[in-house]
Amino acid sequence: MAYLFTSESVSEGHPDKVADQISDALIDNFLAFDKESKVACETLVTTGQVILAGEVKSTTYLDVQKIARDTINKIGYTKGEYMFDGNSCGVLSAIHEQSDDINRGVDRASKELQGAGDQGMMFGYATNETENFMPLALDLSHRILRELADLRRENDAITYLRPDSKSQVTIEYSDDNIPLRIDAIVVSTQHDDFADDDTMLAKIRKDIVNILIPRVMAKLPENIQALFNSDIKYHINPTGKFVIGGPHGDTGLTGRKIIVDTYGGKGAHGGGAFSGKDPSKVDRSAAYATRHIAKNLVAAGVADEILVQVSYAIGVVEPMGIFINTYGTCPFNMTDGEIAEIVSKLFDMRPFAIEERLKLRAPIYSETAAYGHMGRKNEIVTKTFSQPYGETISLDVELFTWEKLDYVDKVKVAFGL
């Protein structure tokens, strides 16, 4: 019998994502001037207020207030009527030195012997149901909000949009896990106040269905476009009004959108958030590494769908183990345990090896902090950073290295494909 599966996304203006973006902007600035920085930074945002807290070991000094304000303004919180804007909000920093007890387990005389920054398990996942090897419901949810943000910044076809928004997509699958159709789409978007609530709701619904959705569809491959149909159930601003939003409507915290950040409920999650953590924290780096493994395995034809787990003990160099689940989709006679054994030899999962392989000690993290850390475009960009006393540097950095299919040939050789 066919079944339904749902994933959600939230926009860059969602309060939790505002917090994530501030935390990752701090990471980028620390790494830009001192690539050996160790940072764990949390952010809280609420009405007119930003609170920064965490631990840092670095040789550089930053104007963390300016970084927070610039990030907020870039997102689009630039008006006093939002009750939260980058120019007027208060910014309190409670950032202090990293604990020596933690650092002694990470820093070693030889970088190759670097220990894991924490214990825990991390998961990576990939499926061949989309071109970017991501779960379809989550991919569509992200696309809807990225397009909505583009419309907001264009301020032309739709002129009343504010930064905070959420989306959700429900897809009907066949018994053999093939997407059949889109069953429902939910979009809740913050908006300017209207004189009449009924007129407002009708206008927003019409614009989402007739302007936003066609723009999303136009950028999709034909097989995904075919899943859109006239019977889709649309729930547009289902509460009826969404003027009060952002950090004024709901307090935001770093690390509260870990399922949006990863696979939308598909696969599994180890529980550790990403944003605000430098790559010595395996919560982040190993999650990227397992995604890299899963994507390359699926692309190479090892299975149609793969989940990869790795686990660590704090301060220990080698992982506790690697687990593979192919969900019965491996086309050749090999067990998941046998696949895991080959993977463990092909991919070096020591923390320093992951940092080196994926080029993680670079300021590449601000771009990850909204619309998902996985399934994104691998590209080289130029980024500019400034210190309080005038030093400015520009760096060419490679984004989303864990999305590269650079191990496909190696995987094929290792598995005899």
Radius of gyration of the chain (CA): 22
The DSSP code sequence of 292-338 is HHHHHHHHHTS-SEEEEEEEE-BT-SS-SEEEEE-TT--SSS--HHH
| 166 annotated ligand binder | yes
- CA-to-CA distance for 11 and 129, rounded, in angstroms? 24
21 labelled binding-site residue: no
Whether 57 has a binding-site annotation, put simply, is no
Tell me if 42 sits within 8 A of 56, measured CB to CB: no
Task: Determine which helix (DSSP H) or strand (DSSP E) holds 355, and give its type and residue range.
Answer: helix 351-358
Please, is 198 exposed, middle or buried when counting C-beta atoms within 10 Å of its C-beta (0-12, 13-18, 19+)? exposed
| CB contact at 8 A, 194 and 39 | no
- Beta carbons of 129 and 179 less than 8 angstroms apart: yes
How far apart are the C-alpha atoms of 106 and 125, rounded to whole Å?
27
Query: 359 among the known binding-site residues?
Result: no
The answer to whether 42 is annotated as binding is: yes
List, in sequence order, every residue forming a beta bridge with 314; answer none if it has no partner: 116
Say whether 165 counts as a known binding-site residue.
yes
Q: Is 281 annotated as a binding residue?
A: yes
Nearest-angstrom CA–CA distance, 291 and 374? 8
- Check whether 274 is labelled as a binding-site residue: no
* E-strand stretches of 206-320: 233-236, 252-253, 305-312
Query: How many degrees, rounded to 5, is the angle at CA 347 between CA 283 and CA 23?
Result: 25
Q: Check whether 387 is labelled as a binding-site residue.
A: no
Nearest of 338, 340, 335, 339 to residue 310 by alpha carbon: 340
Q: Quote the CA–CA distance of 194 and 110 in Å, as a whole number.
A: 62
226 is in an annotated binding site: no
Q: Could you give the CA distance from residue 364 to residue 376 in angstroms, rounded to a whole number?
A: 13
Residue 96 marked in a binding site: no
273 is in an annotated binding site: yes
Q: Which amino acid is at 55?
A: E
Alpha carbons within 13 A on the beta-carbon side of 88: 11
For 33, 277, 280, 283, the CA distances from 36, given in Å and listed in that order, are 9, 13, 9, 18
Is position 98 annotated in a ligand binding site? Answer: yes
Distance of CA 29 to the CA centre of its chain: 19
Annotated binding-site residues for Mg(2+) read 16
Annotated binding-site residues for L-methionine read 55, 98, 250, 281
Annotated binding-site residues for ATP read 14, 164-166, 241-242, 250, 256-257, 273, 277
Annotated binding-site residues for K(+) read 42
Annotated binding-site residues read 14, 16, 42, 55, 98, 164-166, 241-242, 250, 256-257, 273, 277, 281
